[in-house]
Amino acid sequence: MKRIFLLLFVVASVPVFAQHDPYMCIIPAPVSVKKAKGDFKLTSETIVLADSPSNRAVKFFAAYLKKAGLGNSITDLTILDKDHRDMKNAITLSVNFKGDQPEEGYELNITPDHITINGRNAGLFYGVQTLMQLIQKDGNGNATIPCGYIKDYPRFKYRGMHLDVSRHFFDVDFVKQYIDLMASYKLNNFHWHLTDDQGWRIEIKKYPKLTTVGSLRAQTKIGRAAGVDSELYDNTPYGGFYTQDQVKDIVDYATQRYVNVIPEIEMPGHSVAAMAAYPELSCDPKKTYKVRETWGVSEDDVYCPTEENFKFSTDVLNEVMDMFPGQYIHIGGDEVPKDAWKTSDFCKQLIDDRGLKDVNGLQSYFIARIEKYVNSQGRSIIGWDEILDGGLAPNATVMSWRGETGGISAAQQGHDVIMTPGSGGMYFDHTQQKSPQEPFSIGGNAPLSKTYAYDPLPAALDKEQQKHILGVQANLWTEYIATPEKAEYMLLPRMLALAEVAWTPLANKDFRNFSQDRIPHHLGRFDKEGINYRVPTAIGAMDTSVIGARFKVELSSPVEGAKVYYTLDGYTPRETDVYYTTPLDIIVPPKNTMHLKTIVINPSGKRSIVTDMKMENK
Ligand code: TNX
C-alpha cells in the first residue's frame, strides 16, 4: 500500500457523459471532429439513399435499422433526379463521390435535415459504425443524432484481436459476437488460434482423427500449470471443434463486416493434440501422446521435420486455405523446445545433410519450407517472433510478442511486423488491476491505462523501417478463461483502448478523456446489450492509505447509469448502502483511522471490485 501524506486531499472530477466531449463519445477517437448545433431525428420515415445499394456497408446499416425498428428501405440514389437527392430526413451513403480519401477513410456530415457518409470499401462501413455510435435512443423508440462533421481514417492498416479457442472452446455465436465487437470498434483482423497442445479445433477432412481424437482432453488442470500450484485436475472430459461449414460461415460473417480472419495452425511446437491423433508426426512414434491437460509449454513433444510431416502439414494447410481466403496464414512457430530433435537420429542426419548449424537451423528449415509452400499457393505466412531463431523465412511477417525486440529486428531486416508485446499491455489474459478481488488469471498486470499508452512504432526504427510495422494486436489466451462471460470481462473495456492505439492519431490520444468521458457511455451500452465487461472502480476513488485530518472526495460513475455506493464504517459497500450524490467532506478525529470504501453497481447488477481508502489522522 502506498502511503501518501496530505492534509487536504481533493480529487478532480468531471461530468461523466460530457456533452462537451470533443470526440462526441466516439471510440476510437476520429482524426477530426467539428461539432455543430442541433440534432438529426431518425424515425421510421427516414429514407436511406445509397449509390451502391448492394454494398456491404449499406446492407449492414439496413439490417441494423430493421432490427432497431427504424425502417429499412434503401432507395437507389442513382435512379433519383437531382432534386430528390437532397431530400429532407434522409441519410445518403455514397461510394461514388468526387475526390480522394485515405485507405479505409470516410467523411460523415450530420445536419438536422440530412446525413451524408462518403467512403469507399471499408471506409463507408466505418462511417456507418461511427454513425451508429452516435445514435441516441430514448425510451419511446425515438432516436436522435447530434450534428457535426467528421473526417477520419486509421493510423495503422492492421488492427488485430486474437482469440485462443484451443485452451478453451468458444462456440460459433460467441465468435460472431466477438467479430461484431471488433467491427464496431474498427478492428479489422481476427486472429483465430485454432490449434494447440490442449485441443485441435478445426475439422480437417483428410485427417479426421485431428478432431475425433485431437479435440478432446480427458480433464483440465485446476489452477496454474502442473507443478506450479498443485496437481489437481477436474476429472471432466472437455472438447469442441468447428466443422468446415461453421468455419466458412464465420469467415463470411466477418467478411461482411470488413474483418479478415487469420487462422493459426501451430507448428512445429504446440502440436501435442495433433500428435495424440497421429503419433507418426512426432520423432518418437512409439510413444503415446495425449491431448495436454495442463498449461505451459510441452517439454519435448514437437513435430519431427520428416517428409511425412511436411505432407501432413501441407495437406492441412490446403484445406485451411480453402476455408480462409485472406492473404495471411499464421503458422505459429513459438515456444519450440528442441530436446526431441537433439536426441533424434533422423534430425541429426538432417542437420548434417542440409548443412544446418544446429536445431535452431532445423526450426528455420521447417518454417522456410512451409513458407515456400504457402507462398506457392499465393499466400503469406505470419509467425511468432521465435521464427527469427536460426534465420527468418524470406517473406515472413513477424508477430512480436516477447516485447518489441523481435519486431524491431525483423523490421530492420526488411520484414513486415505486427506488434503484440505482452509487456506493452497487449496480453488481455493478464489482470486489469493488481487485486485479489480480480478473477484468477495467468499473472501479469495490464490495466486499461497501460494498454492505452502503448505505441506500436518503436523509436529504435527509422522512418523507412517503421513502414514495416503494419499495426498492432492484442491477444486473449484462454488457459484461465473458461466461459464467455470471463472472456468478455477480460476483453472489455481493454479492447476499446486497443482500438484507439490502432486507429487514432497520437495527437488525439488522451487517457483522461478516453476513460472518464467516453468509456462510461460505451460501457452503459454494453450493459443494455447484455455484454459483460469489467466494471471499472469509481472515478476519483483511491485504493491506498493516506494520512490527514480532512478529506474532500469527489467521485463519479465510470459507467453510464451506474451508481457508486460507499461506506465509512469499514464494511464492504453494497446496494443497501448510501450512494454517492455530492462530494464528501470526511473529518477523521485525531488518533483515528477511517476507511472510505466504494463499489460501482450498474443497472444490470454488475459490480466493480471494492476500493479502500484508508485515512489516518496520526
Ligand atoms: C505464451 S504468446 C504463448 C501462449 C500462452 C501465453 C499465455 C505465444 C506465442 N505463446 O501459448 O497461452 O503465453 O500468456
pLDDT tens per residue, range 62-119: 999 988 888 767 888 877 766 666 788 999 999 999 999 999 999 999 999 999 999 9
The CATH number given to whatever domain includes residue 108 is: 3.30.379.10
Boundary of a domain, candidates 124, 152, 180? 152
3-state DSSP of 157-225: CEEEEEEECCCCCCCHHHHHHHHHHHHHCCCCEEEEECEECCEECECCCCCCHHHHCCCCECCCECCCC
Helix (H, G, I), strand (E, B) or coil at 139: coil
Helix (H, G, I), strand (E, B) or coil at 105: coil
Residue nearest to atom 10 of ligand 1 (CA): 334
Q: For residue 517, tell me if it sits in a domain.
A: no
Distance, in Å, from the CA atom of 366 to the CA atom of 347, rounded to the nearest integer, reads 11
Q: For residue 536, tell me if it sits in a domain.
A: no
* Chain centroid offset of residue 291 CA: 27
Q: Within this chain, do residues 172 and 272 fall inside the same structural domain, yes or no?
A: yes
Atom of ligand 1 minimally distant from the CA of 297:
11
Residue 242, C-alpha cell as written in the block = 468447428
- Please name the residues in contact with 115: beta carbons below 8 A apart, sequence gap of 6 or more: 40, 90, 91, 92, 108, 109, 131, 145
Q: Separation of 75 CA from ligand 1 center, angstroms?
A: 49
Q: Separation of 224 CA from ligand 1 center, angstroms?
A: 14
The CATH number given to whatever domain includes residue 607 is: 2.60.40
Boundary of a domain, candidates 105, 128, 152? 152
Given a cut of 70, the residues of the chain with pLDDT beneath it are 1-19, 72, 81-85
pLDDT tens per residue, range 478-514: 999 999 999 999 999 999 999 999 999 999 999 999 9
Q: For residue 89, tell me if it sits in a domain.
A: yes
Q: What is the pLDDT of residue 372?
A: 97
Q: Is 401 in the pocket of ligand 1 (CB under 6 A)?
A: yes
Answer whether 464's CB lies under 8 Å from 412's CB: no
**Which CA distances in Å does 169 have to 7, 122, 184?**
53, 30, 23
Q: Is 480 in the pocket of ligand 1 (CB under 6 A)?
A: no
Q: Is 442 in the pocket of ligand 1 (CB under 6 A)?
A: yes
Atom of ligand 1 minimally distant from the CA of 167:
12
Q: Separation of 346 CA from ligand 1 center, angstroms?
A: 29
Inter-axis angle of helices 122-134 and 56-67, nearest 10: 20
Atom of ligand 1 minimally distant from the CA of 420:
2
Q: Within this chain, do residues 168 and 145 fall inside the same structural domain, yes or no?
A: no
Q: Within this chain, do residues 320 and 441 fall inside the same structural domain, yes or no?
A: yes
- Please name the residues in contact with 369: beta carbons below 8 A apart, sequence gap of 6 or more: 305, 310
Q: Residue 51: give the domain boundaries.
A: 16-152
Q: Is 312 in the pocket of ligand 1 (CB under 6 A)?
A: no
Question: Cα 375–379–385 angle (5° rounding)?
Answer: 80
Q: What is the pLDDT of residue 14?
A: 34
How far separated are the first and last CA of the chain, in Å rounded? 17
What letter represents residue 287's amino acid?
Answer: K
**Cα dihedral: 574, 580, 583, 589 (round 10):** -30
Residue nearest to atom 13 of ligand 1 (CA): 477
Boundary of a domain, candidates 102, 121, 152? 152
Q: Is 594 in the pocket of ligand 1 (CB under 6 A)?
A: no
Distance, in Å, from the CA atom of 473 to the CA atom of 417, rounded to the nearest integer, reads 11
Q: Is 170 in the pocket of ligand 1 (CB under 6 A)?
A: no
Q: Is 577 in the pocket of ligand 1 (CB under 6 A)?
A: no
- Please name the residues in contact with 118: beta carbons below 8 A apart, sequence gap of 6 or more: 94, 95, 97, 101, 106, 107, 124, 127
Q: Separation of 335 CA from ligand 1 center, angstroms?
A: 8
pLDDT tens per residue, range 361-385: 999 999 999 999 999 999 999 999 9
Phi, psi dihedrals of residue 109, rounded to the nearest 5°:
-120, 120
Helix (H, G, I), strand (E, B) or coil at 371: helix
Q: What is the pLDDT of residue 19?
A: 66
Mutation probe of ligand 1 site: the residue of 198, 224, 477, 480 with most atoms within 8 A of C-beta: 477
Q: Separation of 338 CA from ligand 1 center, angstroms?
A: 17
pLDDT tens per residue, range 249-258: 999 999 999 9
Give the CA count within 13 Å in the CB-facing half-sphere of 422. 13
Q: Is 384 in the pocket of ligand 1 (CB under 6 A)?
A: yes
Q: For residue 25, tell me if it sits in a domain.
A: yes
Q: Within this chain, do residues 324 and 354 fall inside the same structural domain, yes or no?
A: yes
Place of cell 524470406: 394
Helix (H, G, I), strand (E, B) or coil at 323: helix
Answer whether 360's CB lies under 8 Å from 308's CB: no
Atom of ligand 1 minimally distant from the CA of 430:
14
Q: Separation of 478 CA from ligand 1 center, angstroms?
A: 9
Q: Within this chain, do residues 584 and 467 fall inside the same structural domain, yes or no?
A: no
Distance, in Å, from the CA atom of 443 to the CA atom of 318, rounded to the nearest integer, reads 37
Helix (H, G, I), strand (E, B) or coil at 104: coil
Q: Is 477 in the pocket of ligand 1 (CB under 6 A)?
A: yes
Residue 536, C-alpha cell as written in the block = 471499472
Answer whether 529's CB lies under 8 Å from 535's CB: no
Q: Separation of 162 CA from ligand 1 center, angstroms?
A: 11
Q: Within this chain, do residues 253 and 281 fall inside the same structural domain, yes or no?
A: yes
Answer whether 469's CB lies under 8 Å from 456's CB: yes
Stretch (H or E) spanning 32: strand 32-42
Q: Within this chain, do residues 147 and 216 fall inside the same structural domain, yes or no?
A: no
The CATH number given to whatever domain includes residue 198 is: 3.20.20.80
Q: Within this chain, do residues 177 and 268 fall inside the same structural domain, yes or no?
A: yes
Q: Separation of 477 CA from ligand 1 center, angstroms?
A: 7
Q: Within this chain, do residues 587 and 441 fall inside the same structural domain, yes or no?
A: no
Atom of ligand 1 minimally distant from the CA of 478:
12
Q: Within this chain, do residues 123 and 79 fall inside the same structural domain, yes or no?
A: yes
Q: What is the pLDDT of residue 165?
A: 98
Q: Is 335 in the pocket of ligand 1 (CB under 6 A)?
A: yes
Q: Separation of 611 CA from ligand 1 center, angstroms?
A: 31
Place of cell 430526413: 89
Residue nearest to atom 7 of ligand 1 (CA): 477
Atom of ligand 1 minimally distant from the CA of 335:
10
Distance, in Å, from the CA atom of 381 to the CA atom of 367, rounded to the nearest integer, reads 9
Mutation probe of ligand 1 site: the residue of 196, 302, 475, 490 with most atoms within 8 A of C-beta: 475
- Residues annotated catalytic, as ranges: 196, 270, 335
Atom of ligand 1 minimally distant from the CA of 401:
2
Among the listed residues 379, 388, 390, 393, the one whose alpha carbon sits nearest the alpha carbon of residue 406: 388
Among the listed residues 77, 113, 73, 111, the one whose alpha carbon sits nearest the alpha carbon of residue 95: 77
Q: For residue 526, tell me if it sits in a domain.
A: no
Q: Within this chain, do residues 289 and 176 fall inside the same structural domain, yes or no?
A: yes
Residue 589, C-alpha cell as written in the block = 478525529
Q: Within this chain, do residues 212 and 260 fall inside the same structural domain, yes or no?
A: yes
Mutation probe of ligand 1 site: the residue of 224, 335, 367, 442 with most atoms within 8 A of C-beta: 335
Peptide bond into 268 cis (omega under 30): yes
The total of structural domains in the chain comes to 3
Helix (H, G, I), strand (E, B) or coil at 514: helix
